[in-house]
Each structure stands twice: as C-alpha cells, then as structure tokens.
Amino acid sequence: MSNENLFAALRAAFPQDLDAIAVETDSGLTYSWRDLDRATAMMANLLASLKLPAGARVAVQVEKSVEAMMLYLATLRAGYVFLPLNTAYQSAEIEYFIENAEPSVVVCTSRNFGWVSKIAFKAGTKNVFTLDDDRTGSLLERATHCSDKHTPAVKKADDMAAILYTSGTTGRSKGAMLTHGNLLSNAKVLKDYWGWKKGDVLIHALPIFHVHGLFVALHGALLNGSKMIWLAKFDPKVVMRKLPEATVFMGVPTLYVRLLAEPGLNRESVRNMRLFIAGSAPLLIETFTEWQERTGHTILERYGMSETAMLTSNPYDPKQGERRGGTVGFPLPGVGLRVRDDKGEACPTGEIGGIEVKGPNVFKGYWRMPEKTKEEFTNDGWFRTGDVGKYDERGYVTIVGRSKDLIISGGYNVYPAEIEGYINEMPGVAESALVGVPHPDFGEVGVAVVIAKPGAKLDADGIVAALKQKLANFKIPKRCFVVDELPRNTMGKVQKNLLRAQHKDLFVKTA
C-alpha cells in the first residue's frame, strides 16, 4: 500500500544535498535539510513513544520558531493530528479548544505552562510539554533522547492531518478537519500554478497557526525543496533587508500596506524577487496599484479559507491572463467554484451570489459537528463558503462581500457574535452590536455599539478593558460607543449595515 502521509511527500521533495540550508532565521541561525529530517524524526519518535490512540490530537500554542514548525511536521510524520492555536488566545478561548478537541498532547510556552496545563489536565490530557522560541522546553529535552531515524506513519489520503478552528456565526468555534489528501493536493496544485522553481527562496513572515503561514507558505517552500528565510514576527524593516536574498513573498494585505510605508521600497530593493502573493483578506486596489508603481511587480491575489485551503488564484503565467487587481483570479485546477442565488439557482456571469466550492482540497467536515457540517454543504455536495461574489466574462472571480457575519482584521477573523456574547454578559449591558469598518492598516476593524439596561450607566472604556481580560488582542474592538438605541428593521433585527455606514469614516475618509 502506498503511503499518502503528507510528510512523506514533503520529505521526498527535500533536495539531494541534505547539508544545504533549508531554513535561515532572522537571528542568524541556520538549519539544513538534514536537521529538519533528524529533528522531526526525534520529535515523531517522542510522540510515538507516548502510545497515543489513533487520530490523537496534538494541540500547540507556542511562539513561532523553526522548532514549532518541526513539531507540526513531526506530528504529521508520526501520523497524529496537528491542532495549532493562535498565540493571542487567552484562557477562556484555550479552554474551549482543549475541551472540544480533547487533545492527547498539549504543547505550550513555559510562560503559560501554569494555566494551560491546568486546563489540559482538567480536560483529560495526559501529556503537556513546553516549547519556547529559544530552543528550550521539555519537548526538546525529551526528544533529544529519541532516535533520529523514523519511518513516516502510513496514512491514507482521507486521514485527518490537522484541525483548524474557525469561529462560527453562533460565536462558537468549529474545528475544520483537513486531511493529508486535502493538504497535499492543494500544495501540488499551487507548486505548478505559481511556477515554483529551482533556486526559489521564500521569506516566511506569517504566523504558523493559520492556513496562510502553516500550509500555503510552508508547504510551498518544502514541496519545492526551497530555502526559507524564517522571520519570527513580521517586521517591515527586516523584510526590506531580506528582500534581495529572496524570490517569493506571501502576506496578508496589511503586510503590503506596511511595506509600502518603507521609503526604501523600490524596483532596486525587489530586483531578485519573482513573485509577491497576497490573500486572507481583500487587497485594496490602491495597494495593488501603488505596489505596481513602486516595485514594478504585480501582486498575485488568491482566495482561500480554513475549510478548503486555496480555491482561486490570479494567474502566474501571463499566457493564462493578466493579474487583475480587485479579483481573486480563476478557480485553481481541480477546484469547482459556482455562484448561486438565494434559491440555489446558478447566477449568470456578472451576477452576485453565494460562492460554493468542490474539490480534493475541501475539508472532511467540522470536528464532532455532523449537523453543522451537513448544513454547510448543498445536497449535491458543494461547500457553502459564506462568501459572496461573481464571475466576470473572462472567468475571473471577484469577492464582493460575505453572507457570514465576519470581520477580517489584518488577516485574522473576528466573529461579531463571539464578541457581542462577551459584551452582553457584562453587568448593565442590554445589547450590543459589533460591526466592521474600514481601517488604513488592518483593512477592517471592529467597532462595538452598546446599549445599557434601563437605569444602568456604562463606560465604553470599561467595556473595552474588560474584553481585553478575556479575548485575544486582535478581537478587541478598536472603538466602543454607548448609545440609547440600535437601529432596527421592522422585524426588530439590528441593522448592522446602518451602523457600518454611520461609523465608516472613523479611521479613514471613505468616498
């Protein structure tokens, strides 16, 4: 039987010269391909020695480091399921994920070990390790004693490789189950579509707990046997310094906005670059155009999501067409994408409707939520993305909005229902609404509008301060208003579109 383990495919793509540099960090450390192979073998052997049940989850909330990336690869290698968690998540958020996913292993920073291990042990997790971004922690201490030889566990394409939590409209996160086959098929398609070639060097500047940094960027480089310049955090000055040594860069739009603020960004600074890719949130046409003017490069925008990995992309090869700003390009080879109206009828070209997708990249379902999974698929098996868009006459797809109530801020998703839930629980609050408004840096940010219970007095700053105690920092509304009433339609439903219109100029002057 052939082994469809994603790690096996990535390992097979390592270059012949295992002593060549695979990863170089911003602090000057280098790792060879042999180092990646040996360290992931040792960690995989450590996981194997724990005698975990089949399909065991390995939940990880650690700072970005090469060792953290190796832990992801080791989890695949050992045949378990990787569950990455945003480092900004606080205890209530982590508690939910751990209780919901019931991981057999939790890895956290030594700084957070106290509270994370408490949550984990309470939820029945037997193994809690630490891993810090300075190559210390109990995970590495234990792995050092393990063999550096390991044969990748045999997996089928349909076996789960990772669970990515993505918040839901009800405010509770759902774990999207992605398989080895989902991830490998997508990585292979992108390798061809984006013309990855020998000698490519990727600047990896994104976090590794979401699709963009963990899958698109990492798998792209590994499957091509390409060196990565590994940045622990996005810093425009460091990226500027590294650009001459690189050929490929991937970022959410905020990264491009911040790079454009660097006076040194010009044609000379990007002279060796082959490709700039953007996604995770809409790239403003102003950013697209300014980038073209300053660097001579046309950013390639693509579209995807946690449940599906990448769905569409502007063309790399000019023979297939130009890269059109404001669009997300064509469905990738093997991906079906259709636009449907409210009645489920096909929308003609140019008409806006709900985007539905199909393909080998589409996830297996939501973790322990069969009903929710069923709801999100049509009867004929297409996944409803919750994004709203259209095809143009040349086959390019444009995303025009979302039917899901979602704010994307600096590439991170903020689900209003979750934040509203926390605000509504606060003493004196009658009701709240969180809306997304344009922001020059993050693209969009949340603004909370709150009404008090009769007789209660509320303080907007106090609400924000209380939220900061409970939620990841990127979810905190950038402004909060206490008002007498919320605009409602005849059904009594809050009209968020009116709130959005009212606050649209808070951070930027919109037309």
Contact set with ligand AMP (CB under 6 A): 166, 210-211, 279-282, 301, 303-306, 328, 385, 387, 399, 402, 408, 413
By CB under 6 A, residue 210 contacts ligand MLC:
yes
CB of 180 to ligand AMP, least distance (A): 19
Count, residues in the chain: 511
Exposure string over 115-139, b if 16+ CB within 10 A, otherwise e: ebbebbeebebebbbbbbbeeebbb
Task: Please provide the DSSP assignment of 47-112 as one string.
Answer: HHHTTPPTT-EEEEE----HHHHHHHHHHHHHT-EEEE--TT--HHHHHHHHHHH--SEEEE-TTT
Under DSSP, is residue 285 helix (H, G, I), strand (E, B) or coil? helix
Q: To the nearest whole angstrom, how small is the minimum distance from the Cβ of residue 459 to ligand AMP?
A: 32
**Number of residues near ligand MLC (by CB under 6 A):** 22
Pattern of binders to ligand MLC over 368-407, x per CB under 6 A?
----------------------------------------
Q: By CB neighbour count within 10 A (0-12 exposed, 13-18 middle, 19+ buried), where does 5 fall? A: buried
Residue 38 CB, nearest approach to ligand MLC (Å): 29
Judged by beta carbon distances under 5 to 8 A according to partner kind, the member of ligand MLC, ligand AMP, none in contact with residue 31 is: none
Which among ligand AMP, ligand MLC, none contacts residue 142 (Cβ within 5 to 8 A by kind)?
none
CB of 387 to ligand AMP, least distance (A): 5
Provide, rounded to whole angstroms, the least separation between the CB of residue 279 and ligand MLC. Answer: 5
Q: How far apart are alpha carbons 358 and 360 in whole angstroms?
A: 7
Q: For residue 330, what is the enclosing H or E element? A: strand 330-331
Pick the piece of the chain touching ligand MLC (CB under 6 A) from 27-35, 122-130, 207-215, 334-342. Answer: 207-215
Q: Which is nearer to ligand MLC, 71 or 310 (CB)?
A: 310
Pick between residue 103 and residue 279 the one whose CB is nearest to ligand AMP.
Answer: 279
Q: Which is nearer to ligand AMP, 402 or 500 (CB)?
A: 402
CA proximity to 412, closest of 100, 167, 214: 167
Nearer to ligand AMP, 35 or 307 (CB): 307
Count Cβ atoms below 10 Å from residue 400 Cβ, excluding itself.
13
Q: Under 8 Å CB-to-CB from 473, ≥6 apart: which residues? A: 88
Which of ligand AMP, ligand MLC, none is residue 399 near (CB under 5 to 8 Å by kind)? Answer: ligand AMP
212 interface partner picked from ligand MLC, ligand AMP, none, CB below 5 to 8 A per type: ligand MLC
Q: Quick one: 129 or 316, whose CB is closer to ligand AMP?
A: 316
Q: Does 236 bind ligand MLC (CB under 6 A)?
A: no
Q: Is 280 in the site for ligand MLC (CB under 6 A)?
A: yes
How many angstroms separate the Cα of 311 from the Cα of each of 98, 180, 425? 29, 17, 38
329 touches ligand MLC (CB under 6 A): no
211 binds ligand MLC (CB under 6 A): yes
Select from 103, 137, 181, 207 the one that contacts ligand MLC (CB under 6 A): 207
The neighbour count for residue 3, using CB atoms within 10 Å, is 16
The H or E element that residue 116 is part of is helix 113-122
What, of ligand AMP, ligand MLC, none, does residue 252 touch, CB below 5 to 8 Å by kind? ligand MLC
Mind giving me the DSSP string for 412-468? Answer: EEE-HHHHHHHHHTSTTEEEEEEEEEEETTTEEEEEEEEEEPTT----HHHHHHHHH
Mode of pairing for the β-strands spanning 248-251 and 227-230: unpaired
Residue 206 in the binding site for ligand MLC (CB under 6 A): yes
Token couple for 168:
């839901």
Least distance to ligand MLC, CB of residue 47, Å: 26
Distances (CA, A) of 123 to 94, 114, 116, 117: 11, 15, 11, 10
> Residues interacting with ligand MLC, by CB under 6 A?
206-207, 210-213, 233-234, 252, 254, 279-280, 304-305, 409-412, 442, 445, 473-474
